[in-house]
Each structure stands twice: as C-alpha cells, then as structure tokens.
Amino acid sequence: MTVDFGPASGADGELDYATLRDDLTRFMMEYEFGARELLTKIEILQEEFTHLHRYSPIEHVEWRVKSPESLLRKIRRRGLPFTLDAVRAGINDVAGIRITCSFISDTYRLAEMITGQSDLRLIEVKDYIAAPKPNGYKSLHLIVEVPVYLTDRVQKVRVELQIRTIAMDFWASLEHKIYYKYDREIPSELLEELTEAAQAAGELDQKMERLHTEVSRLGAEVSPRSPASGAAPIPRELLELLASGRDDDPDMR
C-alpha cells in the first residue's frame, strides 16, 4: 500500500485531510502494536529467566514511538519520498525499545533469546559494545521485524532494540544532555572528559561482571535451590506425589 503524505484531493477537489489523517494514524498504530508485541515477548522471557536462574537479567525497559513531527523531520533529513511505504523501507526506528541490563553478558544473552524466536526476523545488528563509537558510546543495537496481526492482514513492523548495561545507559544519558545543551558543539575539554568517563564505565562493567561470576559460582556451591521470588508456593504433598509418580486423590481417578 502506497499512501502519499503529499496533497490528496477529495471528490470536490478539496484536500482530503481526513483520509490522510486516518492513514497516518493507522500507520503509527501499527508501530505501537509492534512495540507492544515485542514488549510482551520480553516480559515473558524476563519472568521465565527469573524462575530458571533466580535473578532477572533486565533492570529496566523503556519504549516509544516517534511523534509524527519527529518522523517528518527524519523523512526530510533522509531525503525520502513522502510515502508510508518509503518510511517503512527507509526508517527502522519509528518504534524503539531500550532494555537496561545489569551485566555485559546479559545484553548478549537477552539478544540471543529475543532473536531466537521463530516469528521474529533479525534485520540488522550494530554491536557498539564490542566496537564502541569514537566518543565512547556503547550499546547493542538490533533491528527486529515483528508480525502484527490486524483485522484484515498481517503487517510486518520493524522495531529498534537498544540493549545496554546500567553504566552504559548512565553515560549515554549524560552525553545526550550535554550534546543538546551545547547544540551539538561540545567543547573539546568536555569531550575528553566524556571519553574518560566512558572508559571508567567500561572498567566498572568489567569489574561487576567478574564479581557476578564469582558470587554465582559460590552461591551454586553452598546455597540450596529455593523458589524464585514471586513464584506461587507449591504444597509439599503435591511435590511428594509428583516424585512418587502416584495420585492418591480419588477425585482425580
């Protein structure tokens, strides 16, 4: 379907703004639905991982869909045709999700769990953790195609995923604020300090990763397996029945 952002005329020759508004609203809703579909998958993975491994790899999740005004600015910057099909093909971050993890290993593990799902298609990977940007920015960026089931069709929607550690997220937030405070012209001394801060954040991530590995190893050696936080209590009688392979409840016979 090709819908033009440009002037559209109705039967009387007037601009058909109502049709354009409806088309654009539906277009934006598709991206919102795509993000929400992916958020549900992430929530399920988080809950299952918590039960299996007794901790959550996810600290925080944020998401957004670009406003029409922001989308229009990006279309102009990219020099794209003013059609919805051109936006679908040329802009991958109309919808975006940012996941903050505790440890570097969690970012990769989570990316594997998400992209391993058969109904998702991985479009692009940019690993700024392994290869940081010159200013020190680190994050794992994925473009994932999500099927959205509508009343009349299945629409495939691209969603950008940013997965990073708490330290990476703190640095990126600070860099973003400074970037706009100085209208993209950051003084050289501040740039140098930002780069040093990025290195310090990276060292902190490495140290926390080592501590986490050691604590996990020691915990596995000395701690008995206990129910995950939030898990429903299971009666001991049921566990014993399952262990024996018998069911003594006459109502179940």
Which residues are the active-site residues? 160
3-state SS class at 125: strand
- Look up residue 133 and give its two tokens: 């940007």
| 32: nearest Cα among 71, 1, 4, 59 | 71
Whole-angstrom distance, CA of residue 184 vs CA of residue 190: 12
End-to-end alpha-carbon separation of the chain, Å?
58
CA 147 to chain centre: 16
DSSP-derived 3-state class of residue 218: helix
Q: What angle do CA 93, 88, 173 make, to 5 degrees?
A: 5
CA distance 113 to 161: 13
How far apart (Å, rounded) are the C-alpha atoms in residues 33 and 25?
12
How many Cβ atoms from other residues are within 10 Å of residue 69's Cβ? Answer: 7
